[in-house]
Amino acid sequence: MAFIFIYSPSDFVSGLPDEVGSNAAGTPTYTLTLVPGATPTVIEISDDDSVFNEIDASQVLTSAANVDGTPYAAGTTVHTAYDLINPTLGHKITSVHFGGDGYEQGAVHGIA
Closest CA to 83 of 33, 28, 34, 11: 28
Give 91-107 as a DSSP string: EEEEEEEESS-S---BS
Is 19 in contact with 39 (CB distance < 8 Å)? Answer: no
Q: Model's pTM, two decimal places?
A: 0.89
Give the three-class secondary structure for 9.
Answer: helix
Q: How many CB atoms lie within 10 A of CB 53?
A: 12
Chain segment 10-38, per-residue pLDDT in tens:
999 998 999 998 899 999 889 999 999 99
Q: Per-residue confidence at 51, pLDDT binned at 50, 70, 90?
A: confident
Q: In what order do the strands lie in the sheet with 78-86?
A: 78-86, 91-98, 110-111
